Structure 1
């Protein structure tokens, strides 16, 4: 791994640097683990077969280990004396080892006290593991680094009544009963893997089974383990798994390689899911789905996450990361793969718009803040802080650009070469790009800046039309702000997909200097700080459609006139550009309303925008899911991200004004849309297919707008839907519409549906997460008071990550107006929560910090209030590495 550096005499956590990477001085050829599970503790016996790496100096070995009780230590069967080793809080140092040896270590751990949810811990009725990134060191002393890959043999022993299910990676090779009501199971994973992919589950679980036949004819057992009460919520996950397995065979030629594939649903989990080889451990929110208890979005999330973790079997497991600086090697590539899978399963345009919305609202904000880092960062203190949108989403966009530059056939050849060349190895991002370069003959040296340079490039575009020559020139200038790793950014290679729109539709044109025939779109490659492209055979002044399909993760600046945006919306067939044109129009209306409201004037609704929305609602050919997105205003988060200085009240008031004004102006159309779709949906059984999801999405968007009119009849309509709903998408949409309506006349109805929702669903933990979130995001000055009250509710668990996300994170990140209230109480509340979780669960504490990291983008009064809380957190005596790193960067930026 890379070396760790710390200033002499400093108490600050050490920093790890990519430039200092070196191989370990020992390899692990075989790992044998025995787990003896008792009522209050687990004893772990490990036998490690080590072999000296002759290319690296060092007589002894440093084995990572944290929060372990060492019971015994032996080398080749002989107990080691105190003089042979040294133990500290982070490692076991053995001073001298022969070139080939077996190290036997026995440790004791206490899973029920492990609130960090890393390593082996207890969750409800089971013991389970989370070892990525560095959790395995909380199980036993080990070379816990991704470039150390070993064959694993695991034996688990436990009380048969307490833990009837005993699972580990690979294939089960033995099992049996023992004396005193105990039993055992043995598992063998024949594929080399690093310790971060190790998994173990033991407890009282039920399961459902299915099978999949691979393209070569092998029969694979598929098994999903859950608590008995959740057995009826597993079929969608199993179906999604089979779709993903078939898709990966067809699109990437990748076949599954074990006899069994297992998924376990766990309620206490820091992440979404984990791709442990053959034994995936999932947050319940990413595997359980049933129409009555899960929304359409949750069905889609389960499908996407199941696919993501399955795809990791090759892009992450069979070929893994050399070190944690290469995290996007597996995550960026796999997010791209799961996005393409989801696009093929549903609407490609809607999937693209949703992904870009997430990127521009949250990842661009990350790039603009103190935690900005390259996709291949140059240093870190705590790797858990780098499981970020930059690594995942921006990393996926970089892979998408490679796919766009090479085309599907060459990209497939490149991925085939990558998997074949590096199967069973721990490699780097450079190795992945080299495979793409080797099959295509392209030079990717400039493209690698996407991995090395942080922040979001900004591209300014100017246009010039020559009517006599029939040429249209686009001039590009790219710039990227200075960040910690690089003050002067070199130009990126930016692929920009360009189309030209005329008065009656798309134009065919030619790119000057290209041998390609005239076409309706061209991919130009911006590689210099300033560059221009000339398009020929342009017989009228066009409107440029830039960045079609969002061909690069950049901020684009082109001075569109409003009528040009309307022209794009009328004639562009690229769904992303059409949606984006509408978003730009809405942003202009919001900005105009901000100016008017700031002067005490009443804004006027742009009738062109009204007519545009009216025409969209009348368009029966448009994908209803896309229409729902096109009718959605830019989020407060995105409006804040594009603002020079975030004016919380102005954004909130202007956005609310426009949304309400559109609701009133289009009430007749929204009501007709709602009625028409209701007749279709109420007459049919629930289906989760794309067409049904689209109908519900649009119908519930119409309901949202109707309730905004604040007419009693519309609230009555929402309550009727709440009472009649046969699925959670419809029920939750109505529930949220009623609860978020702050009309005083609605108070009794609001209280009634809150109580009814609780009575119906208090036994369903995932549904209760919605109950908390909807109340946490009520746009009311009493929101924080309600959040504090709910934090004392019997259904709330202050250590459960899902509950924390549904209440604390929902308020702080999703109720921006009242979290940022000028009283500063929201900041104080969040700081208190972070300090409470600092040692209990450092990962969650660190992630909750995000809303405070943007403190410099607000007005001076709010900056001062946020800085007080940041300094208070920093002064904590026992600050975790996770929180320390984020706080330090936030205050230093």
Structure 2
């Protein structure tokens, strides 16, 4: 238990530092048992700040010596406590030199410099550089870096850092060195260093100005065959960024390193990206279509950061979405251009509704630009990333594609080499478009998901159709009252023939973009010249991140699912039918009534399954039921047993009634052609996997036989995992154990495949806490490895029926794991706490058990500030 609360940091208290750093020269000497770091800072007085205090961050370091302007400092010359080294600097320019020792081999936090397998690597975002040396570890301090690395040549033959290599050579005692120079000023969070025995794979890219850039991926030797796809993805991203944003890469070398021990997905360090191995290594044998697409998107995301994050960075961590929201928007646009735009939009919105919407409606709710934090690592959230991207998307919608490009050009040109704010970004868009976005900026400062209630009225005599939009946003922690948002609503009006009707209105509507812009709490929009009452198609392409309602009948939703010209809205209409049906079935179960799935929905599913005019991927998306995260967010009180029973009933109804359809689709979609990763083939495999899942849910022995044969004969991981996941969802324990054993026996030496094996077991229906505890004792599990922890613990938490068993043991297990991780990896531990944060949404019995688990966590001895902040926020009234 903590004896005092950690300090809260507030946006309103931002102040520039008293000294800037123009250059830092680092010498990192790696020895057995410790690493010695010498840093030399070239300091310059900030004339806008009166204080002469030099404040440097530094934790987990043993000071060997400190110098200021060549004078050695004694303990009376400085104060060092709470991770801050403070001293007075009387000159306007100065040199500060620190020699310290750190222990990367025992750094389990995976921040700063740490050991990942046999190599050493860094993770400095957000505040990891202070674990390497003393420095003003804040994003607005930007300096050029020179880094010299010395290490044993046999154990660490590869020595890497940011920028360009400028020198290397041999030293005494079998050691060697490498010197790297980064000519572009950067904040310390973008520093990177890697030392290890790694295999490299090269490629080249010619920029539009004719420069040759070397592309190089470093991996452990056994993974050298898994880098070709990432290299190809990188080249696609570089070309796309030139074509769409005019952004050319600025160094002669771009490197990626794959690490098995990594808290995040990847990190955009200047010129030397460090990736979680799961986010970069791919082969048809070991990666399914979803992983290929994820890797392509992550590689692009980190590369795009070179401009939207590195060349122009954040003034402070409250502006985190300045780089992350903008870059997520850019990577989703890239993926949309590479594949099917409608399918990508569906995937994005499904994720937003499953993760960010619940975050926005619970104790973890915060604005895209937070007002305060204790640990900035706790704010790498879906709100900052995904909602932040939706905010940028709305700006793109409002100003138009051409002005958005002009605005981004102005932003990059005006602020190149600077640390700025979201206001600076928006100001560029205002300048080029002429729009006043003052009200729009509430999306950055107000938390919560706006509610948009829509009603209609038709005046047949005059041919007028009126839509009334009422917006409101619920109270969130610290923000009881909300002002109206700017909400762009892309819409259409469908006639009885299913075609879009011509739209005539005097409202703030753009015929070119089909977007109606709302700014008031209540807006009446009158459409004229109509001869029939239309069916409105609202929020096409999910034009704003809001929860909206309209009094559709089941028949109208089925009509939109069958006819809407907008692919996203066809999917969304069917999603609304699913949610409505499941919630109704859950209510019936709670009331003791007989469960009967609505005929309109059941018939619509059959129509979609048989609609060959739809792409395979769209059909698969439309036939996939909403998950429990979305269902839970749709009710005021979660009675999880009722939701589980209702969803199971609907699945069983669809599976048994259309058994022949699922079998026919499964067999018809089979292919023996060589594996290709493209939209058409990925969609085919996705639809076949879903059809097989439904067929197995019908209980046909023939389906189990087909799945076993598909698994045995699979030539790629997508088919293999589709077969295995379908079997794991069915009732065939002997077959399940046989396939799981075969999977592990065949792939136990492959880290990423073992992670999949762990996830599949943790997510299998019927898995108990005892099973998870046994799995955590397996040699394949390592509590110090974030990927292994996420595979088992998060995999189990997503296993809704098992995790939320009424004995509460799942919650107790999670609390126990958080307590273990608190001392090892506080950042990972804090993220696991969020799995309990919605405890108030559940029925009283489960809510109390979840709250008890949070209280157990909060009572942990020596509780980290990371975990403290999240547990406290979760329990706070």
Q: Which of 595, 604, 613 is the matching residue for 1:612?
A: 604
* Contact 2:426 2:437 survives alignment (8 Å): yes
Q: Which residue of 2 aligns with 1:238?
A: 231
Q: Which residue of 1 aligns with 2:502?
A: 509
Instruction: Select between 228-237 and 666-675 the one with higher mean Cα deviation.
Output: 666-675
* Contact 2:839 2:846 survives alignment (8 Å): yes
Q: 2 CA distance for matches of 1:817 and 1:644?
A: 19
Q: Which residue of 2 aligns with 1:765?
A: 751
Q: Which residue of 2 aligns with 1:316?
A: 309
Q: Deviations over 1:454-500 (max 9, x none)?
A: 00000100000111111110101111011233211000000001100
* Contact 1:62 1:92 survives alignment (8 Å): yes
Question: Do structure 1's residue 544 and structure 2's residue 533 form an aligned pair?
Answer: no
Q: Which residue of 2 aligns with 1:407?
A: 400
SS of match in other structure, 1:610:
helix
Q: 1 CA distance for matches of 2:236 and 2:346?
A: 23
Q: Which of 698, 714, 732 is the matching residue for 2:703?
A: 714
* Contact 1:470 1:538 survives alignment (8 Å): yes
Compared with structure 1, are the counterparts of its residues 141 and 515 closer, same or farther at alpha carbon in structure 2 (3 Å cutoff)? Answer: closer
Deviation at 1:518, TM superposition (A): 7.0
Q: 2 CA distance for matches of 1:595 and 1:856?
A: 20
Q: Which residue of 2 aligns with 1:381?
A: 374
Q: Which residue of 2 aligns with 1:204?
A: 197
* Contact 1:320 1:427 survives alignment (8 Å): yes
Q: Which residue of 2 aligns with 1:839?
A: 823
> Which runs of 5 or more residues in structure 2 are unaligned?
none
Matches within 5 A, 1:773-852: 773-780=759-766, 782-812=767-797, 814-852=798-836
Q: Which residue of 2 aligns with 1:556?
A: 548
Q: 2 CA distance for matches of 1:518 and 1:157?
A: 63
Matches within 5 A, 1:60-75: 60-75=53-68
Q: Deviations over 1:812-841 (max 9, x none)?
A: 1x1122211111101100000001111210
Deviation at 1:17, TM superposition (A): 0.4
Deviation at 1:710, TM superposition (A): 1.5
SS of match in other structure, 1:508:
coil
Q: Deviations over 1:32-63 (max 9, x none)?
A: 00011111111000000001101112122110
SS of match in other structure, 2:20:
strand
Q: Deviations over 1:320-371 (max 9, x none)?
A: 0000000000000000000000000000000000000011111000001101
Q: Which residue of 2 aligns with 1:37?
A: 30
Q: Deviations over 1:821-876 (max 9, x none)?
A: 11110110000000111121001000001121101101111111112111111112
* Contact 1:510 1:517 survives alignment (8 Å): no
Compared with structure 1, are the counterparts of its residues 467 and 864 closer, same or farther at alpha carbon in structure 2 (3 Å cutoff)? Answer: same
Q: Which of 708, 725, 728 is the matching residue for 2:717?
A: 728
Q: 1 CA distance for matches of 2:129 and 2:511?
A: 58
Q: 2 CA distance for matches of 1:690 and 1:305?
A: 18
Q: Which residue of 2 aligns with 1:702?
A: 691
Deviation at 1:775, TM superposition (A): 1.1
TM-score normalised by L of structure 2: 0.99
Q: Which residue of 2 aligns with 1:76?
A: 69
Q: Which residue of 2 aligns with 1:4?
A: none
Q: Which residue of 2 aligns with 1:188?
A: 181
After superposition, the CA RMSD in angstroms is 1.3
Deviation at 1:516, TM superposition (A): 7.9
Instruction: Select between 423-432 and 596-605 the one with higher mean Cα deviation.
Output: 596-605
Q: 1 CA distance for matches of 2:654 and 2:449?
A: 33
Q: Which residue of 1 aligns with 2:842?
A: 858
**Number of residues of Structure 1 aligned to a counterpart in Structure 2:** 876
Question: Do structure 1's residue 685 and structure 2's residue 678 form an aligned pair?
Answer: no
Q: Which residue of 2 aligns with 1:22?
A: 15
Q: Which residue of 2 aligns with 1:94?
A: 87
Deviation at 1:753, TM superposition (A): 1.0
Question: Do structure 1's residue 534 and structure 2's residue 520 form an aligned pair?
Answer: no
Q: 2 CA distance for matches of 1:888 and 1:747?
A: 41
Structure 1 stretches of at least 4 aligned residues deviating more than 4 Å after TM superposition: 514-519
Q: Which residue of 2 aligns with 1:753?
A: 739
Deviation at 1:798, TM superposition (A): 1.2
Q: Which of 305, 320, 329 is the matching residue for 1:327?
A: 320
* Contact 1:146 1:320 survives alignment (8 Å): yes
Matches within 5 A, 1:295-444: 295-444=288-437
* Contact 2:663 2:703 survives alignment (8 Å): no
Deviation at 1:288, TM superposition (A): 0.3
Q: 1 CA distance for matches of 2:666 and 2:117?
A: 42
Q: Which residue of 1 aligns with 2:557?
A: 565
Q: Which of 570, 573, 589 is the matching residue for 1:578?
A: 570
Q: Which of 135, 139, 144 is the matching residue for 2:132?
A: 139
SS of match in other structure, 1:549:
helix
* Contact 2:329 2:393 survives alignment (8 Å): yes
* Contact 2:493 2:503 survives alignment (8 Å): no
Q: Which of 863, 869, 873 is the matching residue for 2:857?
A: 873
Deviation at 1:630, TM superposition (A): 0.4
Q: 2 CA distance for matches of 1:571 and 1:777?
A: 36
Q: Which residue of 2 aligns with 1:248?
A: 241
Q: Deviations over 1:213-255 (max 9, x none)?
A: 0000000000000000001100000000000000000000000
Q: Which residue of 2 aligns with 1:452?
A: 445
Q: 2 CA distance for matches of 1:675 and 1:486?
A: 54
> Which runs of 5 or more residues in structure 1 are unaligned?
1-8
Deviation at 1:318, TM superposition (A): 0.1
* Contact 1:508 1:518 survives alignment (8 Å): no
Q: Which residue of 1 aligns with 2:659?
A: 667
Q: Which residue of 2 aligns with 1:739?
A: 728
Q: 2 CA distance for matches of 1:97 and 1:152?
A: 25
* Contact 2:727 2:736 survives alignment (8 Å): yes
TM-score normalised by L of structure 1: 0.97
SS of match in other structure, 2:669:
helix
SS of match in other structure, 2:100:
strand
* Contact 1:458 1:554 survives alignment (8 Å): yes
SS of match in other structure, 2:733:
helix
Q: Which residue of 2 aligns with 1:258?
A: 251
